[in-house]
């Protein structure tokens, strides 16, 4: 079985109506509530210092935590894959996916989250901001990596084991977020796509903006084409990227695009 993981986005869209009525409940509501209970005790100024954000954003998120409830309905929540709105999600373009695509994605795509741990695409989500890399002492340790421990890896392992074929996790998340997946506990092969831009003359390198968008494009490619075998991933050619075997390693696959970058 093939399962993909993405990072969340800082930007959220709760104004555009969702393109589907299909929705599910988050899996780690109890754990999220415990985090929110602690974050509610922080003043906006403390939240701002904790997260390294402006006074305006700190006040907004203090209000979000104050209003947060461990219940999720379409009236005050939105499906995660439609709520996140950043470079990765521009590439994924979930609003244009069909109902059938979204239901297939529900089985093959997961979103890592500092607050919710692990989200399925159609899981309803209340708005929040809490980066996985936040150093915040809690009941289980000094930061969110300690808080989540091996819960995320165990859940991914269980889901992968339920599918057919070799269990493979395609890591389309950032380093910050993928650190939340305990590799020792994870019972699966991990394939890491790397997206590079450049030219043969100047060389190729990872350009953050392009690489983020490419992660979303690859997730979309897998969903729309219903890919279930890892070798099929080498056929990814969206936006001019191509698989480069001579630059790749066993489980680190390099995709390059000829594009001049400054």
Q: How confident is the model at residue 38 (pLDDT cuts 50, 70, 90)?
A: very high
Average pLDDT over residues 242-260: 96
- pLDDT tens for residues 103-143? 999 999 999 999 999 999 999 999 999 999 999 888 899 99
Per cent of the chain over pLDDT 70 is 100
pLDDT reported for residue 189: 97
Q: Residue 232's Cα: distance from chain center in Å?
A: 22
The C-alpha R_g of the chain, in whole angstroms, comes to 19
pLDDT reported for residue 138: 87
How high is the mean pLDDT of the chain?
96
Which pTM value belongs to this model?
Answer: 0.97
Q: Write out the DSSP string of the chain.
A: -EEEEE---S-B--SSPPS----B--S-HHHHHHHHHHHTTS-HHHHHHHHT--HHHHHHHHHHHHH--S---TTT-EEHHHHB-SHHHHHH-GGGS-HHHHHHHHHHEEEEETTTEEE-TTBEE------TT----BTTBSSHHHHHTTHHHHHHHHHHHTSSSS-EEEEES-HHHHTTS-TTT--SEEEEEEEEEEETTTEEE--HHHHHHHHHHHHHHHHHHT--SGGGGGG--GGG-EE-GGG--SSEEEEEEE----
- pLDDT tens for residues 59-93? 999 999 999 999 999 999 999 999 999 999 999 99
Q: Write out the DSSP string of 69-125.
A: -S---TTT-EEHHHHB-SHHHHHH-GGGS-HHHHHHHHHHEEEEETTTEEE-TTBEE
Q: Does position 147 have pLDDT exceeding 90, yes or no? A: yes
Q: Cα separation of 256 and 109, whole Å? A: 23
pLDDT reported for residue 46: 95
pLDDT reported for residue 13: 97
- pLDDT tens for residues 187-245? 999 999 999 999 999 999 999 999 999 999 999 999 999 999 999 999 999 999 999 99
Q: Does position 262 have pLDDT exceeding 80, yes or no? A: no
Q: Residue 250: exposed, middle, or buried by beta-carbon count in 10 A (0-12, 13-18, 19+)?
A: exposed
pLDDT reported for residue 139: 85
pLDDT reported for residue 261: 81
Q: Does position 156 have pLDDT exceeding 80, yes or no? A: yes
Per domain, the residue ranges of the chain are 2-22+79-258
């Amino acid at each position: 079985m093939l399962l993909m993981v993405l990072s969340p986005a800082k930007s959220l869209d709760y104004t555009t109506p969702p393109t589907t009525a299909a929705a599910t409940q988050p899996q780690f509501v109890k754990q999220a509530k415990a985090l929110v209970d602690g974050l509610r005790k922080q003043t906006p100024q403390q939240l701002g210092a904790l997260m390294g954000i402006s006074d305006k954003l700190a006040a907004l998120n203090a209000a979000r935590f104050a209003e947060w409830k461990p219940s999720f309905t379409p009236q005050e929540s939105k499906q995660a894959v439609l709520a996140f709105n950043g470079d990765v999600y521009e590439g994924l373009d979930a609003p244009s996916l069909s109902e059938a695509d979204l239901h297939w994605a529900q089985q093959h795509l997961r979103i890592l989250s500092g607050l919710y741990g692990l989200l399925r695409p159609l899981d309803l989500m209340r708005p929040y901001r809490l980066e996985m890399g936040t150093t915040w002492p809690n009941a289980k340790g000094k930061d969110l990596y300690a808080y989540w421990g091996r819960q995320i890896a165990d859940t991914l392992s269980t889901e992968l084991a339920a599918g057919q074929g070799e269990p493979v996790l395609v890591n389309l998340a950032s380093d910050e977020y993928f650190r939340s997946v305990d590799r020792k506990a994870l019972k699966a092969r991990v394939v890491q796509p790397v997206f590079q831009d450049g030219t043969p003359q100047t060389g190729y390198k990872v350009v953050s903006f392009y690489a983020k968008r490419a992660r979303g494009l690859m997730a979309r490619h897998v969903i729309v084409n219903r890919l279930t075998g890892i070798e099929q991933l080498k056929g990814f050619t969206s936006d001019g990227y191509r698989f480069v075997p001579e630059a790749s390693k066993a489980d680190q696959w390099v995709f390059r695009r000829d594009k001049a970058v400054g």
